[in-house]
Structure 1
Amino acid sequence: MTTGKTARRSQDDRRRQLSTAAAALFTERGYPHVAVSDVAARAGVSTPTVYRHFADKQALLYAATQSGVDAFETITDAALAENDDPARALAAAATTLSLSDPGALTLWRWSGYHLTEEQDRDIVRRTRTVLRRWASAIAAHRPDLTERESMYLAGAVLSVAGSLIGRVSKTDRPTVEATVRRLIRRLFALRPSEAAALPEPLDPGIGAATRRDEILDAAATLFAERGYPGTGVDDIGAAVGITGPSVYKHFPSKDAILVAIGQRSALRLEAGALAAASLTADPSQLLDLLVDSYVQTMTTSPDLLVALTSGGALDGNPAAAELLASQRRYVTRWIELLTRADPDTTPQTAALTVHAALAIVNDAVRMPRRTPRPEFAARMAYLMKGLLHG
């Protein structure tokens, strides 16, 4: 005979199963490209079964993201309980996160684009609560830091951990563990208030603004605020002061606008890289100049953030392959420079380190903040350089 408690346990188990399947699919394909039927197929159940537990796809996303934050909290609790040394506890928590399942634990990075405002506030509040605990652990290890400096370092440590999630399949577990611990030690030695102001951008620019650029500017801002699926061509036209149909005089589709935003961000990064290469051939100095260029590009325009977070919407579009190849070539340039700057660093470790450094600013820009602080970009560059050079 089935008791009420047994039935509830069975329902909870099913919800967890569906949430786990949804998290994996959202991470693999991107939220806009996953249907409820896909989740059902991954979980090995019928589509009506999914709807018995979740009202819609957004409810699945919220549940999956909550599960990720639950794991974040549980891992932190366990690490702090098992280690008397706060720094060791934080390193243990970050390492555990890095070796975790790449599903729900990474959803908090971008899920806000598709959650309701109330749901997003809940996820941000819970994530920041755990981050404050990490910051307290850092402050216990470094009492000379201010509370804000500790939070900067806590966010950077979380980005390092998150950037390596799932990479254990591409490398070996001991390498990931050793890399996480080494990078965290580097972060623990930094003091964000010592960040020097960023130099003037090296990017020489991409020409005078046109109506086409105005459309791209408006679209990038809207895509960053509302997400790509939540923005229509009429919205973009209204933001520029023209009708939706007038937008089509410049771009044949919304996808074409997203492609152009990606191309523009790639052009800015490449221009910055070429300008940096004209100033020095030293790999360490050149890497630092690329950090400055990347941070300036990421923090002064939404283009790059949109290209990174909305690229999945272009699956099947022939232009998407070249954009992805361009991004990979750019990251490969960083990896090669790091191995030249430090010959003792293997390409494998250099790749992990570069992805961790890029994640610091990528994650920080995605996290909502009331008013960007003037020192924000400089501190992001400082943390990235500290991680790359140690």
Structure 2
Amino acid sequence: MTTRTDAPTRREQILKEAARLFAERGFHGVGVDEIGAAVGISGPGLYRHFPGKDAMLAELLVGISERLLNGGRLRVEEAAPDPDPQALLAALIDGHIDFALDDRPLITLHDRELDRLRDSDRKLVRQLQRQYVELWVTVVRELHRDVPESEARAAVHAVFGLLNSTPHLGSYGSDLPGRTATETLLRRLAHGAFASLAG
């Protein structure tokens, strides 16, 4: 899977800083002037890129759901035409770990602010998330053919909960492991959770 190395656009810079600030202080605790200052432009200058904070929040939450789904689909396509379910599941886990470590503010934002989206945007996020879950469920059931679909789906949700716990790592005064150590730990725990389906 190719990785983009281009410098972020101004729009992407705005979204990154908005996500960080919203996650730190809450959606209503951040003004457009603060977001603008974080990227070196005036608050009103943001309106050349977004009509307001609501639009930023929608693009952040819809955008990450689209990115996860598209990344998962790409891994499935790259594994075709004769995929190894174990290798494909490993690729899906690694992709989600990258998200969980690189986009922690978006996890916090989703947990706290999803209900602030317009109904249409919230429904779109949920639809994209369901498709992403079902992509994983299909791979898990290829690997564990005797496992009922409902159990496979519950396992996928449980692993997402595990991987998406990264914003809480290092809380309560504990030391946060380095990235490599955290990747290794999350990978081992996720694979262990799915392996337990065979027992």
Tell me the CA shift for residue 294 of structure 1. Answer: 0.5
1:323 aligns with 2:125: yes
Query: Is residue 384 of structure 1 aligned with residue 186 of structure 2?
Result: no
TM-score of the two chains, using structure 1 as the length reference:
0.45
Q: Identify the residue that residue 49 of structure 2 maps to in structure 1.
A: 250
The one of 61, 71, 84 aligned to 1:282: 84
1:355 aligns with 2:186: no
**1:328 & 1:301 partners in 2: Cα distance?**
20
Alignment of structure 1 residues 334-353 onto 2, 5 Å? 334-353=136-155
Sequence identity, in percent? 32
Q: Give 1:260's aligned amino acid.
A: E
User: Offset at 1:306?
Assistant: 4.2
1:224 aligned residue: 23
Deviation at 1:366, TM superposition (A): 3.1
Structure 2 CA distance for aligned equivalents of residues 261 and 203 of structure 1:
22
CA RMSD of aligned residues (A): 2.2
Cα pair distance change 1:208/1:357, threshold 3 Å: same
> Is contact 1:205–1:268 with CA below 8 Å preserved after alignment?
no
SS at match of 1:248: helix
* Match runs of 1:259-274 below 5 Å: 259-274=58-73
Correspondence 1:293-312 to 2 at 5 A:
293-302=95-104, 304-309=106-111, 310-312=113-115
Q: Distance in 1 between matches of 2:183 and 2:158?
A: 17
Q: 1:234 aligns with which of 28, 33, 53?
A: 33
Name which one, 1 or 2, has greater alpha-carbon Rg. 1
| Secondary structure in structure 1 of the residue aligned to 2:28 | coil
Summarize deviations over 1:2-23 as a string: whole Å, max 9, x none.
xxxxxxxxxxxxxxxxxxxxxx
Of structures 1 and 2, the one scoring higher in RCO (CA 8 A, sep 6+) is 2
Contact 1:223 1:231 in 2 (8 A): yes
Where structure 2 has 5 or more consecutive residues not aligned to the other structure, the ranges are none
* Aligned partners of 1:276 and 1:289 also within 8 Å: yes
Structure 2 CA distance for aligned equivalents of residues 366 and 229 of structure 1? 22
Deviation string, structure 1 residues 232-268 (Cα, Å, up to 9, x no partner):
2222111111111111111111111011112332243
Q: 1:373 — aligned with what?
A: 178
1:91-130 mapped onto 2 (5 Å cutoff): none
Q: Provide, for residues 191-218 of structure 1, a one-character-per-residue CA deviation record: whole Å limited to 9, x for no partner.
A: xxxxxxxxxxx35339652110010010
Per the normalisation by structure 2, the TM-score is: 0.84
Please give the residue correspondences for 1:53-72 in structure 2 after superposition, counting only pairs within 5 Å: none
Contact 1:268/1:297, CA 8 A, preserved across alignment: no
Deviations 1:73-115 (A, max 9, x none): xxxxxxxxxxxxxxxxxxxxxxxxxxxxxxxxxxxxxxxxxxx
